[in-house]
Amino acid sequence: MAEATPQTEQPELKRAIGPKLLLFFVVGDILGTGIYALVGSVAKNIGGALWLPFVLAFVVAFLTAFSYIELVGKYPRAAGAALYTNRAFKIHFLTFMVAFAVMCSGLTSASSAALTFGNTYLRQLLVEFFAITASKEAFVWTLLAIVFVLLLALVNFRGVSESVKANVVLTCIELSGLLIVIAIGVYAIVVGDGDPSRLTQVEDPSGKGIVIAISSATALAFFAMVGFEDSVNMAEECHNPTKIFPRAILMGMGIAALIYVLVTTTASLLIPANELAKAETNALLKVVSVGAPGFPLWVFALIGLLAVINSALINMLMASRLLYGMANERIIPKFFNTVHPFRRTPWISIVFTTGLAVILVSTGTVAKLGGTTSLLLLIVFMIVNVALLVLRKEKVEHKHFRAPTWAPVLGAICCAYLVLPWTSGRPWSDYTTAGWLLLAGLVLWGINRVANGKVEIHAENLSK
C-alpha cells in the first residue's frame, strides 16, 4: 500500500475576514454568470412566471446551506464537501469522486461564462464601438470564447493573488448591473408599462406537464444560486467562523435571491417570455434596451463582461488548484502536482483543466453547461446533506450551529428530486456531459490505483 506523502508543518492561514467581508464574499460568489446568462433559457422552460424557479432554487439551496453552516462550524477547515464526505463515509473513492465533481462543476461554470463572454457581452461591445454586425458565423464567437479560456490560463499560470477586498469591488460592479435592471422595472411599474399578467403564466413547452416544466426550469435556475458553498474554503481565514458563518451565508443567500426575483420580475413585466427565450443569453441586454432606450447599452455590456470574467477566473483557479491538491495527496497521477520552477503555479493541472474547458466550450451551449453545473453540484449537495446526518453521532468539544434535522432531510430529498431525469425534466445532455467528465476522473483514479495501490486520503488538504 502506498501512503500519502506526509504534509510538512505549515504556518496557520491569516485570519483576516470579518462578518462584513464574508457577507460580500458570499453575495459576490453567488451573483455572476447564472443571472447574467440564463434568464432567457429559464424563460424558455417555464414562460412568464420567470421568478418562480429562482425562488424554488433558492429554497433548495437554503436547505443545503443549513448543512454547510453546521459542518463548517463543527469542522472549520478549508476543504468543504470532500472533508465532510470523507469523515462521514470513510470511502476513499467516494471522497475522490465528490472532489472531482466539484472540480468539474468549476470547469462547466467557467465554460458557460466563456461562451457568455464571447457571444453576448463582448459581442455587444464590438457592435457598439466598431459597428460589427451580428451576422457573423457562430464559430467566430465560439473561437473568441476559446481564446478567452486560453487567456484565463495565462493569468492562472502567471499566478493570481486573490483578495476578498478585491472581491468587494467586483461584487459592487456585478451588483450595479442588476440594480440597473431593477431600477428599470421600478420605473416601468410607476409609469404603467409592462404586463403584470405575465408573472403568473406557467407554460409547458416540453408537453410533459406543468410540474415537470417547473422542475426543469428550477434545475436550470439552480445554477444561479450556487457559489455560497465556496465560502466554506475561507473558514480558516475568518475571525470566529463558528459565530459569523450562519448569519453571513443565510443573509448573503437571501440578498442574492431577492435581487434575482426583482430582476426576473422586471424581465417578465417588460418582455414576453417567447421573446426572452429567443434572446437567450442576451435577455438582460434586451430588457435594458426596451425598458430604458436612452441608457447606453455598452455600459451594461461592460458590467456583464466583468461579471462573467470574474466568475470564469474564480472557477478556473478553483479547478486547477483542486486537481493539484488531489495529485499532491497522490490520489491521481502525481505529475499533476508539478509546479513551474519560476511562476510557482501548478502548470500541468492548469493545462489539463484548460484543455477540458476548451472541449466544453467547443461542444456545449450556455444552457447545457449551466445545467451540467447544476447537476454536478446537486449531487454533491445531496451527499453533504446525508453526510451531516451521519456525522451527528460524532461530537466535538466546541459549541457550533446545529441545523434543524428536517433541513438536511428535506434538502437531500429536494436535491435528489432535481437530479433524477424522470422528475427534474432535465435534458439528457446534462447527464452525458457530467458522465464524460466523471469518467475522466475515474480513469485518473484507476491509473493511479494501478501505479500506486491504495492511497490514504487527507481530504482537508485537497483545497490547499
Domain boundaries, the chain: 19-461
- Per-residue pLDDT tens, the chain, 464 aa: give them: 444 444 444 444 455 567 777 787 788 778 878 899 899 999 999 999 999 999 999 999 999 999 998 988 888 765 678 888 888 998 888 988 998 999 899 899 999 989 888 888 888 888 777 766 655 566 777 888 888 899 888 877 776 554 455 556 777 888 899 999 999 999 888 888 888 899 999 988 878 889 999 999 999 999 988 888 777 766 656 677 677 888 888 999 999 999 999 999 999 999 999 999 998 889 999 999 999 888 899 999 999 988 888 888 888 887 887 888 788 777 778 888 788 777 677 888 889 999 999 999 998 888 899 999 999 999 999 999 999 999 998 887 778 788 899 999 999 999 999 999 888 888 999 999 999 999 998 998 888 888 776 666 665 555 54
What's the pLDDT score for residue 6?
A: 45
Secondary structure of residue 108 in the 3-state scheme: helix
Secondary structure of residue 352 in the 3-state scheme: helix
For residue 341, report the phi and psi dihedrals to the nearest 5 degrees: -65, -25
Give CATH superfamily name and number for 19-461.
Amino acid/polyamine transporter I (1.20.1740.10)
Q: Name the pTM for this structure.
A: 0.87
183 burial (CB, 10 Å; 0-12 / 13-18 / 19+) is middle
For residue 238, report the phi and psi dihedrals to the nearest 5 degrees: -105, 145
- For residues 178 and 131, what is the distance between their CA atoms, to the nearest angstrom? 26
24, three cell numbers: 460580500
Taking only Cα atoms into account, the Rg of the chain, rounded to an integer number of angstroms, comes to: 22
What's the pLDDT score for residue 344?
A: 74
What's the pLDDT score for residue 314?
A: 80
Ramachandran category for residue 126: left, alpha or beta (phi over 0 → left; psi -120 to 50 → alpha)? alpha
Secondary structure of residue 35 in the 3-state scheme: helix
End-to-end CA distance of the chain: 24
- The number of CA neighbours under 13 Å toward the Cβ of 148 is 30
Neighbours of 387 (CB within 10 A): 24
151 burial (CB, 10 Å; 0-12 / 13-18 / 19+) is middle
Secondary structure of residue 17 in the 3-state scheme: strand
- For residues 394 and 388, what is the distance between their CA atoms, to the nearest angstrom? 10
Secondary structure of residue 238 in the 3-state scheme: strand
